[in-house]
């Protein structure tokens, strides 16, 4: 599985128009300090979960498996939304998406989803969980 650096581009691309508008109204979307800190924390969380299972292989410092990118972005967005002085974007589907992200990371930590550096392992990183 290839590894990627989680960035603000990934997170901002997943914000709804209402979320962006609300954040821009309070001058927060452009604030890299808050989002940068959230990204660093989520990256550390994902990497620690991967390292929790000894058969998993860890990529370069500061990167996460591509299979965890969707889930990492979900956690970043949830933290960003929770940090705002607004209720925009605070919906039940968001809570379920966050729950699924933690579930995936727990599966990685238990070895139910194997993470390797080999492309032969696939780029999905496990079962499809995007239930649209």
Label each residue of 5-39 as H, E or C: CCCHHHHHHCCCHHHHHHHHHCCCCCCHHHHHHHH
Domain assignment present for residue 126? The answer is no
Range of the domain at 78: 3-121
| pLDDT > 80? residue 83 | no
Vertex 64 angle, CA 60 and 65, to 5°: 105
Number of domains in the chain: 1
Question: Taking all residues of the chain, what is their mean pLDDT, rounded to a whole number?
Answer: 78
| pLDDT > 70? residue 14 | yes
Confidence of residue 35 (pLDDT cuts 50, 70, 90): confident
Domain assignment present for residue 73? The answer is yes
Helix (H, G, I), strand (E, B) or coil at 65: strand
Q: pTM score > 0.75 for this model?
A: no
Domain assignment present for residue 111? The answer is yes
Token match 């194997």: residue?
114
Domain assignment present for residue 33? The answer is yes
């Amino acid at each position: 599985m290839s590894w990627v650096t989680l960035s603000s581009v990934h997170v901002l691309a997943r914000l709804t128009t209402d979320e962006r508008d609300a954040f821009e109204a309070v001058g927060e979307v452009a604030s890299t300090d808050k989002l940068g800190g959230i990204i660093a924390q989520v990256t550390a969380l994902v990497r620690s979960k991967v390292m929790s299972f000894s058969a998993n292989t860890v990529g370069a410092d500061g990167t996460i498996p591509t299979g965890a990118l969707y889930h990492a972005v979900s956690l970043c967005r949830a933290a960003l939304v929770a940090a705002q002085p607004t209720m925009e974007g605070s919906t039940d589907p968001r809570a379920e998406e966050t729950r699924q992200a933690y579930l995936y990371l727990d599966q990685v930590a238990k070895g139910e989803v194997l993470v390797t550096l080999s492309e032969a392992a696939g780029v999905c990183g496990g079962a499809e969980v995007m239930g649209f």
